[in-house]
């Protein structure tokens, strides 16, 4: 089982901790050069007067670009602790302290990132501001930049896992998709409410539900009871708090399926 997550805009920067070591991140042998290229372009953009506009930061967040100028020196925390948005609050990754939890997070959870490409949930990162939909001079739009780099990294990881639970948003999903020959299952997680007979996607609730599912799957992995099929994941999803039903689509030619969780 492999769980793919997006990062979050909400972060809790650590007050102390080790500085960034690119050599410690996922697939450092393949991705370090690309990460350095993005970091260099990001530093140039973040030092410019129009940094907030280029990075898509609101006026109240324009000062946030300054954190991108000290990436090498800033203290780092595990990614699952640094990210504290709606999805991560619901997932509570690493929150139980159960034996085997850190190992499961390191092995089974990969977070896509505009800055780092893809990292383990336990990889240590500094505070930063860079979304996957941003276009940087020299790199171009980041999801297109990373799609060239991530196929050789995530393809083998997904193939070994066999079952991929995809809780990413669309911008991050565009950075990697399995090819038609991989032979496994990729389960895209959707969450909707039904109002007056119509299905509605509510971003906050969808993120919360994806987080609940990710957290429950990791808890089951630690307990030795993680599902190994899409039907098993659908059963877990149907049992989540606030979920009334779960619908599983047929797979497409690349083995991708949609799991739609219908909220109560």
Query: Which H/E stretch holds residue 118?
Result: strand 117-120
Residues 6+ away with beta carbon under 8 Å from 136? 38, 41, 42, 45, 54, 142
**Distance separating alpha carbons of residues 260 and 189, to the nearest angstrom:** 6
**Distance separating alpha carbons of residues 163 and 255, to the nearest angstrom:** 10
- Report CA-CA distances (Å) from 46 to 15, 115, 203: 22, 13, 28
The residue ranges of the chain whose pLDDT is under 50 are none
Residues 6+ away with beta carbon under 8 Å from 36? 22
Q: Which pLDDT does position 181 carry in this prediction?
A: 78
Q: Which pLDDT does position 61 carry in this prediction?
A: 67
Q: Which pLDDT does position 195 carry in this prediction?
A: 85
Q: Which pLDDT does position 97 carry in this prediction?
A: 78
Q: Which pLDDT does position 199 carry in this prediction?
A: 86
Each residue's pLDDT tens digit, 134-186 = 999 999 999 999 999 999 999 999 999 999 999 999 999 999 998 877 888 99
Beta bridge partners of 112: 118
Residues 6+ away with beta carbon under 8 Å from 26? 110, 118, 119, 120, 123, 153
Mean predicted lDDT score pLDDT of the chain: 94
Query: Which H/E stretch holds residue 240?
Result: none
Q: Are 164 and 158 in contact (CB under 8 A)?
A: yes
Residues 6+ away with beta carbon under 8 Å from 235? 227, 246
């Amino acid at each position: 089982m492999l769980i793919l997550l997006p990062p979050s805009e909400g972060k809790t920067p650590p007050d102390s901790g080790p500085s960034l070591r690119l050599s410690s991140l996922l697939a450092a042998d393949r991705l370090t050069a690309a990460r350095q290229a993005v970091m260099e372009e990001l530093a140039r953009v973040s030092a410019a007067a129009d940094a907030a506009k280029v990075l898509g930061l609101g006026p109240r967040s324009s000062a946030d670009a300054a954190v991108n100028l000290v990436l090498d020196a800033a203290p780092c925390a595990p990614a699952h602790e640094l990210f504290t948005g709606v999805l991560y609050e619901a997932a509570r990754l690493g929150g139980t302290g159960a034996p085997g939890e850190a190992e499961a997070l390191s092995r089974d959870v990969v977070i896509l990132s505009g800055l780092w490409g893809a990292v383990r949930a336990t990889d240590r990162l500094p505070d930063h501001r860079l979304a996957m939909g941003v276009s940087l001079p020299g790199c171009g739009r980041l999801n297109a930049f990373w799609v060239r780099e991530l196929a050789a990294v995530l393809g083998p990881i997904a193939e070994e896992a066999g079952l991929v639970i995809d809780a990413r948003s669309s911008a991050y999903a565009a950075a990697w998709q399995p090819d038609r020959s991989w032979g496994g299952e990729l389960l895209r997680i959707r969450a909707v409410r039904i109002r007056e007979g119509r299905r509605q996607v509510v971003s906050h609730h969808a993120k919360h539900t994806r987080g609940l599912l990710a957290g429950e799957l990791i808890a089951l992995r630690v307990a030795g009871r993680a599902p190994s099929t899409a039907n098993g994941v659908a059963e877990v999803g149907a049992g989540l708090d606030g979920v009334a039903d779960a619908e599983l689509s047929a797979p497409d030619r690349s083995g991708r399926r949609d799991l739609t969780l219908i909220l109560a």
